[in-house]
Amino acid sequence: MKQEILIIQPLMPDLSEILHQQYHCHRLYEQTDVALFLSQHGHKIRAVATRGDVGLAAELMAALPALELITVFGVGTDAIDLAAARDRNITVTITSDILTDDVADLALALMLSTSRQIVAQDTFLRSGAWQQRPPQLGNKLSGKRVGIMGLGKIGAAIARRCAGFDMQIGYCNSRQSDEPGWQRFGDLHQLAQFSDFLVLAVPGDARNRKMVDAEILSALGEQGILINVARGAVVNEDDLIEALQTQRIRGAGLDVFDSEPGIDSRFASLNNTVLTPHIASATAETRQAMAQNVVDNLAGWFKGEGAITPIG
């Protein structure tokens, strides 16, 4: 008999197909009466498959008394009550170390796109305006100062890429880096004052919610650019939009938004931004590897071998 698992929100089609072949999958997002579903099936579900941006609501976790494993397609755990999971000895897995390079690559792409005005220059060329006037000047990336908020695996990968551009590297993190020449700052305000580019690479949990506000943006200053590849929730979007509209900062490169997939309509009218639809890990190679990681975690667990990438 197949093990029963619960899928919280749609997963990539290839992964969903594999899971349906190997398990009896319940799709929560298709249930019209969740309470009735849980009363009938909740006690049989030992594992949940979810996405990093979706997580698992605390009340839903509480309604699954047999739950042993939460597999996350992604690295975000801010939407999971980890303390409750630990109290119940529920193992949580993420697609660890798989998407680090892609996220770091996109952070650099956003830095280059905003500083060199790649999107605006593309529009300028396609419009035919080049025949009437020269393009506007962008700004250098090489040699500038980058401040990275959060020097975990992704933040460190971003820093190494920035080092290749001879950038001065500053960071805020709970632990000191061993990398020579990287400057540690005591708080985000100091880091923003240092930075030409302020890059966010922190979890989107409650402690970081709206940490980038008007005060931090003022510290970043008129020549500064904000890059967010973390979570939309870490930025006060009203403050950011006002800073962009009034040019109190130079620009922003954003891959994440507070209310995605719907975003504040005011972003669309800003010409000093580069906006991408949460695609930091969206390469065919990485998404396939992430899917395989979820499959392997579930298989290992149900074979009694344990999960392969549990969080600490």
The residues annotated with a catalytic role in the active site are 231, 260, 278
Query: Is 4 buried (19+), middle (13-18) or exposed (0-12) by CB count in 10 A?
Result: middle
Q: Are 227 and 212 in contact (CB under 8 A)?
A: no
Token pair 């899928």 is found at 7
Q: Are strands 251-254 and 273-275 parallel, antiparallel or unpaired?
A: parallel
Q: Are 273 and 253 in contact (CB under 8 A)?
A: yes
Distance CA(71)–CA(299), nearest Å, equals: 11
Q: Tokens in use for 171?
A: 């960071």
Token pair 């009550």 is found at 81
Q: Are 191 and 149 in contact (CB under 8 A)?
A: yes
Distance CA(154)–CA(39), nearest Å, equals: 40
Q: Are 48 and 69 in contact (CB under 8 A)?
A: yes
Q: Are strands 225-228 and 251-254 parallel, antiparallel or unpaired?
A: parallel
**Residues sharing a CB contact under 8 Å with residue 154, sequence separation 6 or more, in sequence order:** 75, 100, 103, 104, 201, 229
